[in-house]
């Protein structure tokens, strides 16, 4: 199965997935693609080798429209990713940066991603970046080579739409088979939605760093969470 690109689609009203809620066949322009149900939402993630899948006509029997595409980020996405990150700098404690990032800084940040354990995926809806997620080195030390730190950012106008779940589902599917033991994440508090998203994907709370950071004069605490990636058959 290719993890290069996938499309997220909404089920037609009244159409239900099969009984186990996991696999359903959908037809896209004479092509067939396996589709996975995300949580309890009426979303499908269909993985395909053909990028053209994303613009193909959708069989009316199952799906009325294409909701979004999830694909690996590339250099052309950097301006949009910069705008998303800078929005969070201005409006959130999710990132501790206080100054806007430049394209040069974003380009340097992007060099860490590859086809191994360090990935970056974007969600695209209506031609716009709706969010991104990434896995990167936890620390630049060989002792942590089996540990990744994850990040996820969703555009404000796409919040609570399933974008975050779709991104994480794709990321953790893509990381299967990599030589990894733990995924960790730090979440600035309060952020109930992010904590709930990570718990949904198997992260557990480890502890809180109390007022260990400061941004714009505000002291910030973060909860740190981890996900076991070493169990055989681990899954989101």
At 101 the pLDDT is: 98
Q: What is the domain partition of the chain in residue ranges? A: 5-70, 73-228
Q: Which two tokens stand for residue 89?
A: 């700098």
Q: Would you say the C-alpha torsion 196, 201, 207, 209 has a positive or negative sign?
A: negative
Strand ranges across the sheet with 147-154: 23-28, 31-37, 43-48, 5-10, 66-72, 120-125, 128-137, 147-154, 182-188, 218-228, 204-215
pLDDT in tens, 185-195: 999 999 999 99
Predicted confidence band at 28 (pLDDT cuts at 50, 70, 90)?
very low
Sorted by sequence, the CB contacts under 8 Å of residue 145 that are 6+ apart come out as 137
Give the three-state DSSP class for 132.
strand
Lowest mean pLDDT among 10-19, 124-133, 136-145, 165-174: 10-19
Q: What is the mean pLDDT of the chain?
A: 79
Alpha-carbon distance of 72 to 112, in angstroms, equals: 13
At 70 the pLDDT is: 96
At 48 the pLDDT is: 35
Q: What is the pTM of this model?
A: 0.75
Q: 145: which strand partners?
A: none
Q: Which CATH class is domain 73-228?
A: alpha beta
At 17 the pLDDT is: 41
pLDDT in tens, 201-228: 999 999 999 999 999 999 999 999 999 9
pLDDT in tens, 96-130: 999 999 999 999 999 999 989 999 999 999 899 99
């Amino acid at each position: 199965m290719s993890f290069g690109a996938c499309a997220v689609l909404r089920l037609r009203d009244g159409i239900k997935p099969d009984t186990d809620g996991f696999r359903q066949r959908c037809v896209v322009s004479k092509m067939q693609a396996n589709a996975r149900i995300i949580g309890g939402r009426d979303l499908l993630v269909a993985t395909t080798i053909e990028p053209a899948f994303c613009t193909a006509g959708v069989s009316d029997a199952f799906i009325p429209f294409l909701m979004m595409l999830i694909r690996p980020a590339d250099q052309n996405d950097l301006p949009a990713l910069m705008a998303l990150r800078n929005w969070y700098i201005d409006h959130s404690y999710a990132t501790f940066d206080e100054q806007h990032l430049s394209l040069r800084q974003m380009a340097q940040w992007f060099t860490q991603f590859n086809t191994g354990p360090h990935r970056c995926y974007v969600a695209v809806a209506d031609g716009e970046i709706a969010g991104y997620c990434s896995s990167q080195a936890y620390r630049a030390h060989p002792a942590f080579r089996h540990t990744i730190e994850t990040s996820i950012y969703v555009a404000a106008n796409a919040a609570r739409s399933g974008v975050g779940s779709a991104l994480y589902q794709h990321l953790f599917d893509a990381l299967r088979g990599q030589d990894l033991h733990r995924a960790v994440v730090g979440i600035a508090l309060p952020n109930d939605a992010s904590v709930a998203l990570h718990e949904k994907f198997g992260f557990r709370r480890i502890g809180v760093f109390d007022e260990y950071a400061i941004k714009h004069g505000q002291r910030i605490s973060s909860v740190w969470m981890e996900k076991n990636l070493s169990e055989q058959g681990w899954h989101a």
